[in-house]
């Protein structure tokens, strides 16, 4: 086993208003943001989790939420400075900040860029006023447009727009209109997520009617065609990028890389190559409890060896290009023959292909990734 690249995820759990579809660990901010207290907690958390893994520089950072853009550039800078001093950064480290278009004041992005943000992920979701209202978004389509203009003006052209599709009453033409509106803002990356009704959300209590499967198929086909025509490549189930603009942080997840997860409810994955051990971590979920908790109370659980092929494949098959046997062997410590045995049924059903020591999902398998994973569990 070999230690893979190391990334850092920092979670910022508050939002101006919780969206009715969202099951991320995020909460409506009902009082003043405890900005410095939270940053102090993040630094303690990082200090505690970095112990023992010094000497592995950070290759990418993702400041996610919730809504990290509720935090000032000066606050975010403290996290970056501490991470740099504690672990060191790779020369071309990617630092992504998630931002809600409703929280961006004029000039803000220039300040974020000045403190080391290299990439922004903007939650656009849709450009249709009716859909934005239904999704409980706090911003208009024009505010998203203004935020994109600000990004270009700040020299942060390397930005992503999050869109959702299969929205209630949405037609394939509506999805295409959303994409065209997004493309007009010249993003470098587009993430397009199928709206899922998650247990425990407001939408789960009164589920909206979503488009039928054939309409959803049409939406996906049109998206792939339009984005392809505009120079975007689909490289992951939900990810499209211009050449050179793939999200390195997400690529690290899909390639079963390591990441420290700091902040309320943050997940991490860490390899101890000397022990042939891969563990998952999770921090205290509820923000108030997290603020008061000892960071050493982090939950840490080893991934059982028999589960490693499934865990690896669950990530790797999300990539259009799939993955190589060598990376599987390095990052799980298992022989590629173990994976081959597990994937035999999926190979026989034409869900995956294996050539030149590389695995990838076939178009059929890519559409129904769960079918591949189920065969691995049998």
Ligand X SMILES: C[S@@+](CC[C@H](N)C(=O)[O-])C[C@H]1O[C@@H](n2cnc3c(N)ncnc32)[C@H](O)[C@@H]1O
Alpha carbon 259 to its chain's center: 12
Q: Least CB distance from residue 233 to ligand SF4, whole Å? A: 26
Residue 195 binding result from ligand SF4, ligand X, none, given CB thresholds of 5 to 8 Å by partner type: ligand X
Candidate residues 26, 60, 96, 144; the one interacting with ligand SF4 per rule CB under 6 A:
26
User: What whole-number distance in Å separates Cα of residue 314 and Cα of residue 335?
Assistant: 17
Alpha carbon 11 to its chain's center: 11
Q: What share of the chain is helix, strand, coil (3-state, %, to 5)?
A: 45, 25, 35
Q: Where does this chain bind ligand X (CB under 6 A)?
A: 15, 21-22, 24, 65, 67, 98, 100, 123, 125, 162, 164, 193, 195-196, 198
3-state secondary structure 22-35: CCCCCEECCCCCCH
Q: How many CB atoms lie within 10 A of CB 264?
A: 27
Q: Least CB distance from residue 46 to ligand SF4, whole Å? A: 22
Nearest residue to ligand X, by Cβ distance, number only: 123
- Taking residues 120 to 159 in sequence order and writing x for each that binds ligand SF4 by CB under 6 A, - otherwise, the string is ---x------------------------------------
- Taking residues 76 to 115 in sequence order and writing x for each that binds ligand SF4 by CB under 6 A, - otherwise, the string is ------------------------x---------------
Candidate residues 6, 8, 10, 19; the one interacting with ligand SF4 per rule CB under 6 A:
19
250 makes contact with ligand SF4 (CB under 6 A):
no
Candidate residues 15, 124, 182, 185; the one interacting with ligand SF4 per rule CB under 6 A:
15
Cis ω before 106 (30° cut-off from 0)? no
Residue 308 binding result from ligand X, ligand SF4, none, given CB thresholds of 5 to 8 Å by partner type: none
- By beta-carbon proximity to ligand X, the closer residue of 73 and 265 is 265
- By beta-carbon proximity to ligand SF4, the closer residue of 120 and 278 is 120
Candidate residues 1, 3, 5, 22; the one interacting with ligand SF4 per rule CB under 6 A:
22
Residue 204 binding result from ligand X, ligand SF4, none, given CB thresholds of 5 to 8 Å by partner type: none
Q: What Å distances lie between residue 93 and 16, 110, 351, CA to CA?
A: 30, 18, 35
Give alpha helix (H) positions in 255-354. 287-292, 308-316, 325-332, 336-348
Residue showing tokens 């309409």: 215
Q: What is the three-class DSSP state of 263?
A: coil
Provide φ and ψ at 102, rounded to 5°.
-80, 0
Q: Least CB distance from residue 135 to ligand X, whole Å? A: 9
Q: Is 34 exposed, middle or buried (0-12, 13-18, 19+ CB in 10 A)?
A: middle
Two tokens at 176? 């295409």
- Which residues contact ligand SF4 (rule: CB under 6 A)? 15, 18-19, 22, 24, 26, 65-67, 100, 123
């Amino acid at each position: 086993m070999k230690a893979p690249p190391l990334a850092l995820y920092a979670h910022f759990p508050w939002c101006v208003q919780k969206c009715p579809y969202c099951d991320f660990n995020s909460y409506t901010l009902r009082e003043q943001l405890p900005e410095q207290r939270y940053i102090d907690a993040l630094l303690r958390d990082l200090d505690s989790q970095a112990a023992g893994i010094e000497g592995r520089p950070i290759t990418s950072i993702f400041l996610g939420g919730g809504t990290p853009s509720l935090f000032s550039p000066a606050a975010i800078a403290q996290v970056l400075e501490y991470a740099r001093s504690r672990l060191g950064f790779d020369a071309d480290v990617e630092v992504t900040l998630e931002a809600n278009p409703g929280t961006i004041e004029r000039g803000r992005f220039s300040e974020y860029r000045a403190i080391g943000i290299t990439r922004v992920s903007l939650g656009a979701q849709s450009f249709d006023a009716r859909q934005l209202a239904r999704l409980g978004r706090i911003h208009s389509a024009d505010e998203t447009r203004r935020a994109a203009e600000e990004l270009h003006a700040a020299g942060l052209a390397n930005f992503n727009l999050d869109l959702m599709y299969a929205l209630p009453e949405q037609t394939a033409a509506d999805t295409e209109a959303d994409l065209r509106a997004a493309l007009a803002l010249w993003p470098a990356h587009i993430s397009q997520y199928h709206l899922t009704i998650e247990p425990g959300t407001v939408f789960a209590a009164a589920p909206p009617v979503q488009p039928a499967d054939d309409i959803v198929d049409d939406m996906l086909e049109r998206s792939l065609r339009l984005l392809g025509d505009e120079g975007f490549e689909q490289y992951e189930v939900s990810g499209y990028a211009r050449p050179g603009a793939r999200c390195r942080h997400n690529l690290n997840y899909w390639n079963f890389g390591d990441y420290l997860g700091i902040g309320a409810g943050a997940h991490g994955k860490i390899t101890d190559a000397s022990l042939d051990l891969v563990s998952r971590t999770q921090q205290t979920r509820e923000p108030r409890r997290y603020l008061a908790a000892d960071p050493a109370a982090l939950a840490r659980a080893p991934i059982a060896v028999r589960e490693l092929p499934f865990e690896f494949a669950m990530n790797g098959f999300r990539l259009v290009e799939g993955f190589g046997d060598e990376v599987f062997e390095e990052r799980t410590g298992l022989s590629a023959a173990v994976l081959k045995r597990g994937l035999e049924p999926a190979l026989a059903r034409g869900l995956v292909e294996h050539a030149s020591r590389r695995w990838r999902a076939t178009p059929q398998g890519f559409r129904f990734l769960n079918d591949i994973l189920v065969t691995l569990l049998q």
